[in-house]
Amino acid sequence: MRKTLLVLGLSLAATVTFAQPSTDALPPKHVSFSFEGPFGTYDRGALQRGFQVYKEVCSACHSLNHIAFHNLSEDGGPGFTDEQAKAIAASYRVAAGPNDQGETVDSSGRPLTRPGTIADHFPPPFANEQAARTANGGALPPDLSLVVKARAGGPQYVYSIVTGFHQKPPSWFKVLPNKYYNPYFAGWNISMPPPLADGSVKFSDGTPDNLDQEAHDVVTFLTWASDPRMEERKRLGLGVMAFLIVFSGLLFLSYRRIWRDAH
Amino acid sequence: MTGPSTYKPTTNFTRWLDSRLPILRFANDTMTTFPTPRNLNIWYTFGAILTFFLAVQIVTGIVLAMHYVPNSDLAFDSVEDIMRDVNYGWLLRYMHANGASFFFIAVYFHIFRGLYYGSYKAPREILWILGVIIFVLMIATAFLGYVLPWGQMSFWAATVITNLFSSLDQVIPHLGTTIVTWLWGGFGVSNATLNRFFSLHYLLPFVILGVVALHIWALHVPGNNNPLGIEVKEPQDTVPFHPYYTVKDAFYLSLFIIVFAIIVFYAPDVLGNPDNYQQANPLVTPPDIVPDWYLMPFYAMLRSVPQKLVGVLVLFGAIATLLFVPWLDTSRVRSGNFRPLFRPFFFLFLIDCLLLGYCGSQSVDAAWNLGVFSIPLIWVARLGTIYYYAYFWLVLPIVGLVETPLPIPDSIARSVLGPRAAGVAPAE
């Protein structure tokens, strides 16, 4: 028995690990959003400003495949009017071919396009994965319509990535060529250049256009893009909870009454 | 317990029906007047909860299948369409995905209740074995369903689990690889795999439904076990199932649904893996491939064994062991309440299963840091696996032989009602 314990102890001791510099992602920053908690809703202003940030900055490289223009004017969304959503859609060109003559390209060989309608989804910035990688030094910019749900840490993680640049790496850490230092990203080398800085966009509603505000707003927009039914879900949840609590109360009273003499 | 039928048809139509198809008699005898021990506690309500959740899964699943597209190019997007564009599609999908978790929460309570109160002992061995079969079918169905959204975890879990069979190559060369290719319908997890997984995911719940019917049939022959673990001896020991247990089950079911609703409406993704919101990509392996939480204990056992074939045997053996429990436990006393030596081993086993689940959820090289020492979780999982087997194959047989049980009450009624028992008329 003693010998077994000794062997066990030695094998445990043999696995003592020594501290070495780790390039695991830092825990995401603590930042709070209007949509948190059981009653949280999306801040309409933040959604509209965040859409502006996506449109003017992110959309150069990142698609938003699961979002259609009509989503912009739906309940629980950014709260654009139907006319605004139509105007936004019309400002995009979407793939149109083949036309009535069966042509898929115009006279100069470019794919046919037409102005978007509210039924269309946001057109992706690149035709395919290879085109996206070629334009981005081999890296593939992920689609953003599910990015908040698809990352552990959710909104806090995306916020930390967007604001995690502009820092001096520790002396022992090597930033690889064509990469950027971002300690909130696993491995600390990220292919995305710093996307936002103070003044990257001009907000028309007078909101200060500093980095934190831009990041906060675009993360709000992307959270909505990941979960556009959140407000409907929480609203229905409130009714369901109220019903279940009252129903359970009635069942409890029935239970007590029926069992009154049985135990 | 299935005594003479007490059903009396009262109208011309029910008399006519009763002599042709006595379905109302059957419903009456099994669901209304069925004599049920009067001392069943909260842990006995999970049977009703499980029945409810099987229905929830089947109903939400049938509607989801109307919108889901089992094609490897379209499946991921079709799930997102359900979440965004189908009316209440988000509700259906969140109920279905979290319903699976709550189904397993309930079944684990149900199984541990059976283990503690000795519900597997004679004359309920077949009842228990049918339960184990349902559990195996549930695991299979849950795994198949996990693959359908065609996210990264779906794809890689399918790859890892089907590859378990390739370990048979170590028995007969090429046997395992051949089986895996046959399972996949190709040389990798592909569209053909997704199609057959969808087909089987739709089939198995109805097989479960059939075995559940047998399970309830086998329950109604000897009747319920109870927390005292003693047989029903006199009418006073029981109450009719309705209204006593319909109302009690309904109340606890309602509480259970409240917890379910909190998750569905306020934290619907908390039990899932974020990686599954990324579309399956055969070229990118996630850093940690993990099953859903309810399979973590078995996953920890699999990973704790360095040799693949042995690991697979340990995994399947852990579930197969449950089939032998009625004969491994040598104690004649059913209820753990009267088994002082059994109780600590049982609760240690419960902790062991939770610990194994924790180990399975951590990355394979994770460790507990205790100052200078660090204990690799793989060793915790190894000890946990050894205890899991030891509990069934050593503790249950030996404890039953050496233990002196506490005095066992001779009557359910006297133990519940005390001195009132003699004067209480059997409940109508």
Is residue A3 scored above 60 in pLDDT?
A: no
Domain endpoint, select from B260, B282, B304: B282
User: Does residue A91 share a domain with residue A183?
Assistant: no
pLDDT at B427: 47
Residue with tokens 């000890």: B383
Say yes or no: ipTM exceeds 0.95: no
Over the stretch A46-73, which tens digit does the pLDDT of each residue have? Answer: 999 999 999 999 999 999 999 999 999 9
Pick A258's closest partner by Cβ from B94, B243, B379. B243
Same structural domain, A205 and A114: no
Structure tokens at B419: 């001195």
Q: How far is it, in rounded angstroms, from Cα B82 to Cα B66?
A: 10
Residue A13 has pLDDT above 60, yes or no: no
- pLDDT number for residue B421: 67
- Any domain includes B4: no
What does each C-alpha distance from A14 to A7, A11, B370, B383 come to in angstroms? 10, 5, 14, 18
Contacts of A15 in chain B (CB under 8 A): 367, 374-376
A165/A58 same-domain check: yes
CATH number, domain with residue B113:
1.20.810.10
| CB-closest option in B83, B94, B274 to A151 | B274
**Chain centroid, CA B337 distance in Å:** 23
Cross-chain residue pair B247–A150, CB shorter than 8 Å: no
Interchain pair B262, A16: CB under 8 A: no
Domain membership of residue A171 (yes or no) is yes
- Taking the alpha carbons at both ends of chain A, their separation in whole angstroms is 52
Q: Can you give the residue range of the structural domain that contains B252?
A: 28-282
Nearest by CB to residue B261, choosing from A151, A244, A254, is A244
Same domain assignment for residues A113 and A206: no
Say yes or no: B255 and B164 in one domain. Answer: yes
What's residue A19's pLDDT? 52
Hey, is the C-beta of B74 within 8 angstroms of any chain A C-beta? no
A146 and A80, same structural domain?
no
One domain, residues B277 and B356: no
What contacts B38, CB < 8 A, 6 or more positions away? A262, A263, B237, B238, B239, B244, B412, B413, B416, B427
Residues A151 and A230 in one domain: yes
**A52 lies in the same domain as A91:** no
- Say how many Å lie between the first and final Cα of chain B, rounded: 16
Does residue B250 share a domain with residue B156? yes
Position A246 in a domain: no
Cα–Cα–Cα angle for B200, B202, B208, rounded to 5 degrees: 90
pLDDT in tens, B170-226: 999 999 999 999 999 999 999 999 999 999 999 999 999 999 999 999 999 999 999
Domain-located, residue A207: yes
- Taking the model in full, what pTM does it have? 0.93
Question: What residue of A is the nearest CA neighbor of B269?
Answer: A149
- Number of domains within chain B: 2
Give domain status of residue B19, yes or no: no
Which residues of A fall within a CB distance of 8 Å from B269? 149
Low-confidence ranges of chain B (pLDDT < 70): 1-3, 421-428
Q: Which of A121, A155, A188 is the last residue of a domain?
A: A121
User: What's the average model confidence in pLDDT over A103-123?
Assistant: 94
Write the single-letter amino acid at A184: Y
Contact B80 A229 (CB under 8 A): no
Give A87→chain B minimum CA distance, Å. 22
Q: Please check whether residue B422 lies inside any domain of the structure.
A: no
Which pLDDT value is given to residue A263? Answer: 67
Question: What is the pLDDT at residue B3?
Answer: 62
Question: What total number of domains does chain A contain?
Answer: 2
A182 domain-assigned:
yes
Judge if A152 and A201 occupy the same domain.
Answer: yes
Regarding whether A169 and A101 lie in a shared domain, the answer is: no
> Of A76, A95, A121, which residue sits at a domain end?
A121
Q: How far is B194 from chain A (nearest CA, A)?
A: 22
Residues B238, B376: one domain? no
Whether residue A252 and residue B374 make contact (CB cut-off 8 A), yes or no, is no
Residue A15: the pLDDT is 47
Q: Which long-range contacts (CB under 8 A, 24 or more apart) does B158-167 make?
A: B158/B189, B158/B193, B158/B197, B159/B188, B159/B189, B159/B289, B160/B289, B161/B291, B162/B189, B162/B193, B164/B302, B164/B312, B164/B315, B165/B312, B167/B308, B167/B309, B167/B311, B167/B312
Instruction: Check if B284 contacts A (Cβ < 8 Å).
Output: no
- B426 and chain A in contact, CB less than 8 A: no
Element (H, E) at B178: helix B175-184
Q: Where in the sequence is the domain holding A93, given as residue range(s)? A: 68-121
Q: Which of B282, B315, B332 is the last residue of a domain?
A: B282
